[in-house]
A and B are shown apart, each in its own frame.
Chain A
Amino acid sequence: MEVFTSYHNIISPLGFTTKENYSSVLADKLCVKTCRYGKLNEQFCLSIIPDEQLNVASRQIKDALLYSKLEKLSILSIQDVLDRSRLSFSDPKTLLIYSTTKGNIDLLDNSIKQNIPKERAYLFSMANTIANYFKAVNRPLVISNACISGLIAIVTAQRLIKAGQYENILVCGGDLVTEFTVSGFKSFNALSQNPCKPFDSRRDGINLGEAVATLLITKNKNKLERSAMQIVNGASANDANHISGPSRTGDGLFQSITQTLKNNKIKIDTISAHGTATPYNDEMESVAFERAGLINIPVNSLKGYYGHTLGAAGVLETVLTLEAASENQLIKSAGFSEMGVSGKIEMITEHKKANINTILKTVSGFGGCNAAALFVK
């Protein structure tokens, strides 16, 4: 059975639709900005969706005051995809999968006044709240697997549809920028104070970003959007090495890629890498790509535009790459100018046209997890 990607949405500081995001990225606009943040008012480079923009958009949401920031963003994103696909969660064959690392974690901060019950800090509670807004018949699935959540949510959707359990699955990924995550990554010395530079020799850390993205996965050929591609395969694998540092030889990512491409002797036209801009991640990815024989394939990381959007990343970056692929467009890897990794990879250094029939997406995360997925036109 073939399973496809279809309608999608991205909400970020660059816009509330995929189209707005895509044209902004092609115009080299970045979401990440240097700013002061947190109780200590320190300098960071972050991507934050302005409240004013969200408030305007939230006028579409019934009883918007009942929902947290992340819930409102998610409702708007999912609504966009439901409207255009004309699907409904009242259909038992349609499911919502939500991917997030921290959900409403800002509810733990008592210094922020919010009228949201603290119980909604539980991820299932947040997901149920979102699903109930759409009067969903099925309880949503919640995946929380660090930074690989978004991509394995997409792969899980493909597998569930192939197993005959559902026909349509909306995969929604979202995470906020919060003092919780900023302070945590700072304690890891993992943050750059400037727009991040994936794979570059002068990269010095990540930027955190907030975003929500939604992607419809379906078996219905009459529900396909222009950018639709087949999800041929996907896989995850653990390094079994260290909980916060990737395997130096990229073992888990290498295994994810080889499993994904097994029985698929196909030419890869472009790779949307994880590319967080930490010294270790990008080096490891390049090693894994070279080991897998993926040299001379145009690679980018979208984190130079969006920052690291955690639970949203796998979905957002896949969506944007699908949109670009529908126009045979390679997107420049923002922040890159000089090769800074040892694996032989070919970075996309300017926006340019190319024949794109296949996409490989890769992700890695804390806990030694890795995943890859293959999309084919």
Chain B
Amino acid sequence: MDALIEKLKGQIIEQLNLAEIKPADINPDAPLFGDGLGLDSIDALELIVLLEKYYQIKIKNPADGKMIFESVRTMAAFIQSQGKA
């Protein structure tokens, strides 16, 4: 799981163009959409693209995104639950 989390952090930084952020700056349990990373509605949609691009997971209902993208850890758990880690 930890390896997946680290990989995911890197992918998030790249997909969302968070150029001034390093993986070490991201707390895997912190809310992704809190003040920390300053993510917005476009970023939320980009995370859906990330899941398809790197893990071949298609989110049928974007409203599910709220729970899946709560934190890096919840994202990783979701990926593992889909057998795509």
Interface residues of chain A, those whose CB is within 8 Å of chain B, are 187-189, 242-245
Contact = CB atoms under 8 A, between A and B. Distances in A.
A31 B62 CA distance: 28
Enumerate the 3 nearest inter-chain pairs by beta-carbon distance, A residue then B residue, closest first. Answer: A189-B62, A245-B41, A244-B42
A242 B45 contact: no
A177 B49 CA distance: 23
Contacts of B62: 189
A187 B45 contact: yes
Given A243-B42, A245-B40, 10 more contacts: A187-B45, A187-B49, A188-B45, A189-B45, A189-B62, A242-B40, A242-B41, A244-B41, A244-B42, A245-B41
Contacts of B41: 242, 244-245
Interface in B27-85: 40-42, 45, 49, 62
B85 to A, nearest CB: 25
Nearest to B42: A244
Q: Which residue of A188, A189, A243, A245 has the most chain B CB atoms within 10 A of its CB atom? A: A189
A244 B42 CA distance: 8
12 contacts: A187-B45, A187-B49, A188-B45, A189-B45, A189-B62, A242-B40, A242-B41, A243-B42, A244-B41, A244-B42, A245-B40, A245-B41
B18 to A, nearest CB: 17
Nearest to B41: A245
Looking at chain A's contact residues, the main secondary structure is: loop
Looking at chain B's contact residues, the main secondary structure is: helix
A244 B43 CA distance: 12
Interface residues of B, number: 6
Contacts of A187: 45, 49
Contacts of A242: 40-41
A255 to B, nearest CB: 23
Contacts of B49: 187
Nearest to B46: A187
A242 B41 CA distance: 10
A250 B40 CA distance: 19
Nearest to B44: A189
Contacts of A188: 45
A20 B40 CA distance: 44
Contacts of A243: 42
Contacts of B40: 242, 245
Nearest to A243: B42
A203 to B, nearest CB: 15
Contacts of A244: 41-42
A168 B72 CA distance: 59
Contacts of A189: 45, 62
A188 B45 CA distance: 7
B9 to A, nearest CB: 23
A245 B42 CA distance: 9
A242 B44 CA distance: 14
A41 to B, nearest CB: 16
B82 to A, nearest CB: 20
Nearest to A190: B45
B65 to A, nearest CB: 9
A242 B39 CA distance: 12
A270 to B, nearest CB: 32
B48 to A, nearest CB: 8
Nearest to A242: B40
A40 to B, nearest CB: 11
A187 B49 CA distance: 8
A242 B62 CA distance: 20
A245 B49 CA distance: 19
A365 to B, nearest CB: 16
A189 B45 CA distance: 8
